[in-house]
Every structure is written in C-alpha cells, then in structure tokens.
Amino acid sequence: MTNRATPRDQDRQIDELRARIAELEEALRAAHMDPQFAILTRAGIDARWHQRPGHADTVVFFDLDQVHGHNAHWGYAETDSRIATVMAQVGDNWIFRWFSGDEFGLVCAASDALGFATRVQELLRTQGLTGTFGIARIVDNDLQASMAAAAALVQAAKALGLRGTINSTL
C-alpha cells in the first residue's frame, strides 16, 4: 500500500514551503542591505555586480576622514547618524559599504563620477565630515580589482596628506 498525501496535506506542505521561501528571501534582503545606512552591503554589491547597468563603467571609492576622531568627539551614534543623513540624501541604488564602516563605493558611468563625488563631498561637509575619493574605470569586469584601483588613489592621497580630495584616473 502506498502512502499518498491528501490534497489537504499537499496544500499544507505548499504553504509551509512558501513561508520558508519568504523567510529566506527576507534573510537575503537583510544580508544585502545595510540596516544602519540603507545602502547595499558588500554581499549586496557582490550579488548585484553582474546586473549593473551597461553604462556603469566606473567605480568611486571613498573613505571618510578622521572617523575615529569624530567618534571620540560626537560619539558613535552621532557620527553614524551624520553618515546616515548623507546616505539618505545620496539615494543611489548602486552605493554600497565596502570593508569597514567608513569605506563606501558606487558604481556609475564615468560621466557621472566626478559629479557624484563632488555632491557626496558637499553632503558630508554639511554634516561636519569629509571624505577622500578615488575614481577609476572598472577593470576586467572585476569588482575587487576595480575597487582596489580606486582605493589605491585614496591611499596615495592620504599618504601625501591630501585628505578631503577627489582623485581620479579618468
């Protein structure tokens, strides 16, 4: 004798599977969006990298300047609140957190990159913050290599004491 599920059992199993799928989809959304700043996480940009618009040929990396000093002066919550205010005003679907809490990136068209960096720098200044920016073309369709190239511009500028600058290879 075979053990066959009744239509009611099948419906229950389908409902359970749908509920589990919804839970997993929510967990994936949570992993891909930074709740503090409402932007993509590193995992989020990794997952979306190959879905970026065709015109997006450039990355902008920026590292906020003197965050440890701001944390000491204002406290962590106030510093994060100021960063969150900036991110809310940027409102771009392709902005993301990179490795640490003060490193960010954006994927955009080369023609938009300088304007984006300038706009974010001005938004940061309204919050008493600055950032050092690096702009580089996407290298071999590789997010890691592209961000490394832009980050190298930031590190070189900081090594020369040029914080709060926008540096580009374009």
The closest of 158, 63, 154, 168 to 114, measured between CA atoms, is 168
Say if residue 11's pLDDT is above 70. yes
Say if residue 30's pLDDT is above 70. no
Domains of the chain, each with CATH number or no CATH:
1-34 (no CATH), 35-168 (3.30.70.270)
Contact by Cβ (8 Å): 72, 106: no
Sorted by sequence, the CB contacts under 8 Å of residue 19 that are 6+ apart come out as: none
Distance CA 66, CA 71 (A): 9
Whose tokens are 């023609």? That residue is 111
Say if residue 124's pLDDT is above 60. yes
Distance CA 58, CA 94 (A): 11
Sorted by sequence, the CB contacts under 8 Å of residue 134 that are 6+ apart come out as: 60, 61, 62, 149, 150, 151, 152, 153, 154, 157, 167, 168
pTM recorded for the entire structure: 0.83
Confidence of residue 1 (pLDDT cuts 50, 70, 90): low
Distance CA 74, CA 81 (A): 10
Interstrand relation of 131-137 and 58-64 (parallel, antiparallel or unpaired): antiparallel
pLDDT above 70: percentage of residues in the chain: 94
Say if residue 104's pLDDT is above 80. yes
Going along the chain, which residue ranges are E strands? 33-34, 39-40, 58-64, 95-97, 103-108, 131-137, 166-168
Per the prediction, the chain carries an average pLDDT of 90
Contact by Cβ (8 Å): 44, 30: no
Lowest mean pLDDT among 56-60, 70-74, 79-83, 98-102: 98-102
